[in-house]
């Protein structure tokens, strides 16, 4: 990483304003998935070991600049207390007298969690006065919130104008892995893309086709590629504005001559959409009229597995079907198991539903790097800058 990290500065007796991404779901007062909290522990423990006082800043959900009782950070602080084994205090707000008094009272190794920073509309507006108020809570700013690194908000970019700003260990690891696969992947290099928004994936392909050797395409975006090839996908979701982009990518691959593009050969279809009682697996050439493609079929999974077998680096972003509903989650979990078996390859997976497929297939521990940031990882794969990373001190 070309930015300074917490290893590069003296943190003893320093108040550290630590931005994390604890945007987690809470049900009945308990966190549903604490992965993001656990991924932040190495940074917090290193800050405590170095003798820093830690003021944690995070958002949760989209409260639209007002207080939403269901999105308070108290349940997160309680769970973090259990994970750290030390008390995590909570502040009534993320700025103002109470937050400043509590931050000033911290002793080395102690931890304070601020209230949801998005309760203030000034956060997402990157308001300068709000950023200055946040900066009063620390002597140093540490950004470990990779999931928000593509956003120029007050707590990710604005505060860097007022405090020395460095990366946490999670942010460093995320950027290093994704930089490696986008700038200099070990080849053969495979890409697995799914999801529904073609424009996002076309941008990835435009950025990575220069070094890709295998491109496997599933999910709803595959429908657009199939239609671009003249295949009738019946009532399936198609992004008509993306057909030209799909044709461009396929022409680019054909021009290069050594890229293998693998589209679905068989698909799982339903009559009446996801709620329909009729479900079949058919060839892509035989999708019945008024039926809809909602997942890839087992033959397609096998084709993906064969194509990826020779790869030394594989990146996967986006589910292979309507992952939220059974039985249309099977293709995604099957692809997860395929990646889990690529023991000699560096595998990088990003995106919330994609990561969920790994966990449900019980192969997450076999993946080289599981990204905590869907939007940020997508931006890096597209070759876009990350404002919150750019704002940190250069190494």
Q: Which of 36, 48, 292, 330 is catalytic?
A: 36
Q: Edge-to-edge strand order for the sheet containing 266-271?
A: 278-283, 266-271, 291-296
What is the token pair recorded at 20? 């994390």
The rounded distance, in Å, linking the Cα atoms of 63 and 47 is 30
> Known catalytic residue: 352?
yes
The rounded distance, in Å, linking the Cα atoms of 279 and 326 is 11
Q: Which of 51, 61, 340, 375 is catalytic?
A: 375
> Known catalytic residue: 62?
no
Question: Do 126 and 152 meet the contact criterion of CB atoms below 8 Å apart?
Answer: yes
Q: 30-31 and 26-27: which strand pairing? A: antiparallel
Of 315, 309, 306, 303, residue with least CA distance to 211? 315
Question: Do 268 and 294 meet the contact criterion of CB atoms below 8 Å apart?
Answer: yes
Q: What is the DSSP letter of 342?
A: -
Of 70, 378, 391, 395, residue with least CA distance to 200? 378
Q: Which of 197, 229, 325, 359 is catalytic?
A: 197
The rounded distance, in Å, linking the Cα atoms of 242 and 278 is 29
Of 165, 363, 187, residue with least CA distance to 259? 187
CB atoms under 10 Å from CB of 62, counted, come to 11
Peptide bond into 327 cis (omega under 30): yes
Of 91, 6, 94, 95, residue with least CA distance to 42? 6
* Length in residues, the chain: 395
What is the token pair recorded at 211? 């070094």
The rounded distance, in Å, linking the Cα atoms of 193 and 284 is 18
The rounded distance, in Å, linking the Cα atoms of 127 and 369 is 34
Q: Which of 51, 61, 96, 352 is catalytic?
A: 352
Question: Do 111 and 54 meet the contact criterion of CB atoms below 8 Å apart?
Answer: yes
> Known catalytic residue: 197?
yes
**Strand locations in 78-204 (E):** 88-90, 111-113, 140-143, 165-167, 189-193
Q: Which residues belong to the active site?
A: 36, 197, 352, 375
């Amino acid at each position: 990483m070309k930015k300074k990290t917490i290893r590069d500065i003296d943190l003893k007796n320093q108040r550290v304003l630590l931005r994390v991404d604890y945007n987690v779901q809470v049900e009945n007062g308990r966190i549903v998935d604490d992965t993001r909290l656990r991924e932040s522990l190495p940074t917090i423990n290193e800050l405590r070991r170095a003798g820093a006082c830690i003021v944690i800043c995070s958002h949760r959900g989209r409260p639209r600049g007002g207080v939403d009782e269901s999105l308070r950070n108290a349940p997160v602080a309680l769970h973090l207390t259990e994970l750290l084994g030390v008390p995590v205090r909570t502040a009534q707000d993320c700025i103002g007298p109470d937050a400043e008094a509590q931050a000033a009272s911290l002793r080395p190794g102690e931890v304070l969690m601020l209230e949801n920073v998005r309760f203030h509309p000034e956060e997402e507006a990157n308001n300068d006065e709000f950023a200055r108020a946040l900066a009063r809570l620390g002597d140093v700013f540490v950004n470990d919130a990779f999931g928000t690194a593509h956003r120029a908000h007050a707590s990710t970019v604005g505060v860097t104008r007022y405090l020395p700003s460095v990366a946490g260990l999670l942010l460093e690891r995320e950027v290093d892995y994704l930089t490696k696969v986008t700038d200099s992947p070990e080849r053969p290099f495979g890409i697995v893309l799914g999801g529904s928004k073609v424009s996002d994936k076309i941008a990835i392909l435009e950025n990575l086709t220069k070094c890709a050797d295998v491109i496997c395409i599933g999910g709803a975006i595959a429908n657009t590629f199939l239609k671009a090839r003249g295949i009738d996908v019946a009532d399936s979701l198609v992004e008509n504005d993306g057909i030209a982009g799909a044709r461009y990518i396929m022409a680019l691959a054909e021009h290069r001559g050594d890229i293998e593009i693998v589209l679905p050969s068989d698909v799982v279809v339903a009559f009446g959409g996801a709620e329909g009682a009729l479900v079949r697996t058919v060839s892509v050439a035989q999708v019945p009229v008024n039926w809809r493609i909602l997942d890839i079929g087992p033959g397609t999974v096998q084709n993906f597995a064969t194509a990826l077998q020779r790869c030394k680096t594989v990146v996967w972003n986006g589910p292979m079907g309507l992952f939220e509903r059974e039985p249309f989650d099977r293709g995604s979990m099957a692809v997860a198991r395929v990646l889990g078996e690529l023991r000699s390859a560096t595998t990088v997976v990003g995106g919330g539903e994609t990561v969920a497929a790994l966990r449900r297939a019980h192969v997450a521990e076999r993946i080289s790097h599981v990204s905590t940031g869907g939007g940020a990882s997508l931006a890096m794969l597209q070759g876009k800058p990350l404002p919150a990373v750019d704002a940190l001190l250069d190494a």
